[in-house]
Amino acid sequence: MNGQAQELTLSRLPKLPRLGPKKKSRLLTNGLPLVLASVILAGVSSVVYFVRRKRKFAEIVEDWELEYGPHRFKFKDLYVATKGFKDKELLGAGGFGRVYKGVLPTTKLEVAVKRVSRESKQGMKEFIAEIVSIGRLRHRNLVQLLGYCRRQGELLLVYDYMPNGSLDKYLYNQPKLTLNWSQRFRVIKGVASGLFYLHEEWEQVVIHRDVKASNILLDSGLNGRLGDFGLARLYDHGTEPQTTHVVGTVGYLAPELTRTGEATPCTDVFAFGAFLLEVACGRRPISQSSTDVILVDWVYSCWRKGDILEAKDPNLGSDCVVEEVELILKLGLICSQSEPEARPTMRQIVQFLEGDVPFPRMSSLRLSSSGIAFSHRTGFDEFAMLYTSSLNNKFSHPSSAETSLLSGGL
């Protein structure tokens, strides 16, 4: 302004840009790696979870199983149905596995799922093939096998759910669940009909090999259904059964099994005889008390004394048909004979139970070291031969000779 320069004030001068490295944000230097690590860890965890889940529900399907596709369930569905096989869904357990109640997630159908463990691959393959064959059985008195699932050494079998459980709980130590005679007689006839179907009416001969009260399940109408085919064997009609290991339950095993190892319709009939006495007497074939009592021997002793009704279950009281109870007790003895050829067939047994054929006179029974048998091959053995020769006539019009032989009645 007057030719003089203004005084220079440093504080008024504009600041120059700062030279050197810029200070980094702590959020970027510390937070970002943590976020990235968390994302990567979550991704890896998700992959591991899904891989483990896939392995958990993984199933091996072999070529030979493909044709059975309609009968195969997914393990995941059975896992969900049984709520992860929780103990609170457990219906029972035995030597062949644990049985759970389940509700299929898609159809809401109530089922029973048996979880069987098998270590032998070859054994499981044969077992599945046989079970799938049995899965084609259709009869109102058989527990229906709905399908199966194979997974990592396990075999799961899916059956119809029987809401009233097994028959044995109605026979022993639970008076509130005791069945009356008409209900028991209906169960007996139903099981007989189912065995007749297995032995003669299906495309192959099916030997159950474990007929007993605990394997008879009751549906909502208290109708008896034969279940648990884990020991069953099949062979073609007209062929001989193969020798196998002796399996079953003590008290129901036919004496010839220990000699021949051959399970036949006759061995099923022997077990059915023990079952008949079990239902009529309310006792197990072999008592579990301190002094073992063989049920068939005890019933036989009552018959020898002339009072076979002494053996009937006291829980039945007087509300029963005496003729039917006596029939079942005597039929149980006849089926329990030690000589297989002298036992009736299931066809004959059904005829007796339905009243189509009078029961033969029991006049020649004797006890042997191997069990009850007819002496001198008379009595029922003679009747059985006549019965077999007359099957085609279905006993609709018996001849005079037949009438005289059958007129002995009970």
Return the active site residues.
210
Sorted by sequence, the CB contacts under 8 Å of residue 194 that are 6+ apart come out as 139, 141, 142, 225, 226
- Would you say 114 is a known binding-site residue? yes
Q: Give how far Cα 350 sits from Cα of 195, 215, 366, Å.
A: 10, 20, 25
CA angle (185 as vertex; 101, 166 as ends), nearest 5: 15
Q: How does DSSP assign 74-125, residue by residue? A: PHHHHHHHTTTT-GGGEEEEETTEEEEEEE-TTT--EEEEEEEE---HHHHH
d(CA 193, CA 201): 10
d(CA 81, CA 161): 13
Closest CA to 282 of 410, 132, 133, 169: 169
**Cβ atoms of residues 147 and 135 within 8 Å:** yes
d(CA 190, CA 345): 15
Helix (H) / strand (E) containing 276: helix 265-281
- Report long-range pairs for 388-396 (Cβ below 8 Å, ≥24 apart): 391/347, 394/356, 395/351, 395/356, 395/357
d(CA 114, CA 239): 32
Q: Where does residue 377 fall: left (phi above 0), alpha (psi -120 to 50 degrees), or beta otherwise? A: left
Using alpha carbons only, how large is the chain's radius of gyration in Å?
36
Supply φ then ψ for residue 397, to 5 degrees. Answer: -140, 80
Paired with 155 in beta bridges are 116, 150
d(CA 315, CA 170): 11
Annotated binding site: 114
Annotated binding site for ATP: 114
